[in-house]
Amino acid sequence: MSIVAENINLTVDGEAYLRNVSFELPNEDFFIIVGRTKAGKTTLLRLLAGLEEIDSGRLTLDGNDLTKMPPWERKVGMVYQQFINYPHLNNFENIAFPLRRAGLPEDKIAEAVNKVASVLGVEEFLEKLPSELSGGQQQRIALARALVKDSKLLILDEPLVNLDYKLREQLREEFKNIFNDQRERLVIYSTTEPAEAMELNGTVIVMHEGEIIQIGAAEEVYNRPANTRVAEVFNDPPMNLVRGVVEGNRIHFNQDVIMALPDHLQTLAAGRYTFGIRAADINLQPNAYASEVQLGEINGSETILHIKLGDISLVTEQEGVHQYDLGASASVDFDLDQLYIFDNNGDLLFSPAANSSVEKAMQDQEKDN
């Protein structure tokens, strides 16, 4: 009982929107697609809804071909990032619309609409038109319409992206509770923000340039990004990736930035690697490595600095609000305990998270070779 995709490709005007996408989704679970803009998230969701056709590959539901099934037969609920409601119907009729199409009796419709309206806190707006509501309320109506019907699949395509920060936080919290109560159907949610995925507590599908690059629990993806692309997509700001050479117990990032291998990495074989280090793990420290500040942004209570360490561009994130002028110098150090190591193909060799050891990683790699 599941939706299975095998090697799906979709190209529009010569641009690949989906590339060799394969997955198997069970019928009841909560998935979160994380990827940047244009990663193929929306295309994949529209494909599942029946709004997009594929060029090659197979998409099946419980073994039956899904590609030929028109959207009005699929029993899919969908919420767009724009607030899409029927402008000519009041909010009650908006929510009741799919039930009327399904031919439910009047009393059942009223009961179902009132129930979902109370869950989403929109009872008082039912007599109004969607255009008389605020953005957050309109999106609640859209969600209510998606929830009210007996759908097997509920799709939410960046539903919070057009809302202001406070409302986003609030709705996200509500969504988390609602979706965790919805385990009798498959819920797929897409977002560009890794933090949102972490908070929503579901299985994460990471997409990049039309490909699925990792599927796993949010924590797992965060602690063990399968490769450098996941490390970039699933961290905000993206994880810093620096090439370096290990030679004689030292890591040479460039001529000037040379650091001693920490104890837990002593067994790392000499050679070239890509090292990953999160922005928060680059610390401002006196008497360390001198860097030049290229850009400083203050994000809430954090300061994000874009710095240049010789020829290496890095992003650091510091607690608190600090003012830096352009071109000012900042002394930084890496927290090597938090260092990720990727091989030259970009695949993860070592993660600083627990249950990971360099020896095992090296052995695994040898086995592969």
Partner 1 sequence: MNSSGYKIFKFVFLAFWASFVVAPFLWALTTSFKTINGVTSGATYIPWVDYEPSLDGWRNVLGSGSQGINVVEPFISSVYVTIGASALSLVLGTFVAYGLSRFKYRAGFIRNGDITFFFISQRIMPPVVLSIPFFLMLQQLGLLDSIFGLILVYIALLMPIAVWVMVDFFNNIPKEIDEMAMLDGCSPLQTFLRVILPNAKPGLVVAGLFCVIFGWNDFFFAFTLTFTETQLLPVAIVSLNSSATPWWSLSASALISIAPLIFVAVLVEKYLDRGNLAGAVK
**Cβ proximity to partner 1, 12 vs 195, nearer residue:** 12
Query: For partner 1, which residue of 14, 64, 88, 345 counts as binding (CB under 8 A)?
Result: 88
Stretch that binds partner 1, among 2-10, 74-82, 313-321, 338-346 (CB under 8 A): 74-82
229 touches partner 1 by CB under 8 A: no
**Cβ proximity to partner 1, 67 vs 201, nearer residue:** 67
Contacts of partner 1 in 95-134 (CB under 8 A): 97-98, 101-102
Query: For partner 1, which residue of 14, 63, 87, 105 counts as binding (CB under 8 A)?
Result: 87
Tell me the C-alpha to C-alpha distance, in Å, between residue 131 and each of 85, 96, 134.
9, 17, 8
CB of 10 to partner 1, least distance (A): 16
Contact 114, 121 (CB under 8 A): no
Query: For partner 1, which residue of 18, 44, 78, 268 counts as binding (CB under 8 A)?
Result: 78
**Cβ proximity to partner 1, 54 vs 153, nearer residue:** 153
Query: For partner 1, which residue of 2, 4, 86, 362 counts as binding (CB under 8 A)?
Result: 86
Q: Say how many residues make up the chain.
A: 369
Stretch that binds partner 1, among 30-38, 49-57, 172-180, 248-256 (CB under 8 A): 49-57
Query: For partner 1, which residue of 1, 72, 301, 320 counts as binding (CB under 8 A)?
Result: 72
User: Shortest CA distance to 24 belongs to which of 58, 69, 73?
Assistant: 58
CB of 98 to partner 1, least distance (A): 4
CB of 14 to partner 1, least distance (A): 16
**Cβ proximity to partner 1, 83 vs 253, nearer residue:** 83
Residue 367 neighbours by CB under 8 Å, 6+ apart: none
| 125 phi/psi in degrees, rounded to 5 | -100, 0
User: Shortest CA distance to 27 belongs to which of 52, 47, 5, 1?
Assistant: 1
Q: What is the DSSP letter of 268?
A: P
Stretch that binds partner 1, among 8-16, 66-74, 171-179, 327-335 (CB under 8 A): 66-74
49 touches partner 1 by CB under 8 A: yes
77 touches partner 1 by CB under 8 A: yes
Instruction: Pinpoint the alpha helices (H) of 121-244.
Output: 135-148, 165-180, 194-200, 218-223, 228-233
Could you list the beta-strand ranges (E) of the chain. 2-12, 15-26, 29-34, 56-61, 64-65, 76-79, 153-157, 186-191, 203-208, 211-217, 240-247, 250-252, 258-260, 271-277, 282-299, 302-309, 312-319, 329-334, 340-342, 348-350
Stretch that binds partner 1, among 17-25, 83-91, 209-217, 241-249 (CB under 8 A): 83-91
265 touches partner 1 by CB under 8 A: no
**Cβ proximity to partner 1, 187 vs 349, nearer residue:** 187
84 touches partner 1 by CB under 8 A: yes
Residue 10 bridge partners (DSSP)? 18
Number of residues that bind partner 1 (CB under 8 A): 22
Tokens 């040379």 sit on residue: 258
User: Shortest CA distance to 1 belongs to which of 22, 29, 41?
Assistant: 29
CB of 43 to partner 1, least distance (A): 14
Stretch that binds partner 1, among 12-20, 75-83, 170-178, 215-223 (CB under 8 A): 75-83
User: Shortest CA distance to 362 belongs to which of 281, 279, 265?
Assistant: 265
| 267 phi/psi in degrees, rounded to 5 | -85, 0
Q: What is the DSSP letter of 347?
A: B
Query: For partner 1, which residue of 4, 51, 259, 288 counts as binding (CB under 8 A)?
Result: 51
**Cβ proximity to partner 1, 51 vs 358, nearer residue:** 51
Tokens 């030292």 sit on residue: 250
Rounded distance between C-alpha atoms, residue 243 and residue 253, angstroms:
6
Rounded distance between C-alpha atoms, residue 257 and residue 288, angstroms:
10
**Cβ proximity to partner 1, 70 vs 248, nearer residue:** 70
Binding site for partner 1 (CB under 8 A): 49-51, 70-72, 74, 76-78, 80, 82, 84, 86-88, 97-98, 101-102, 145, 149
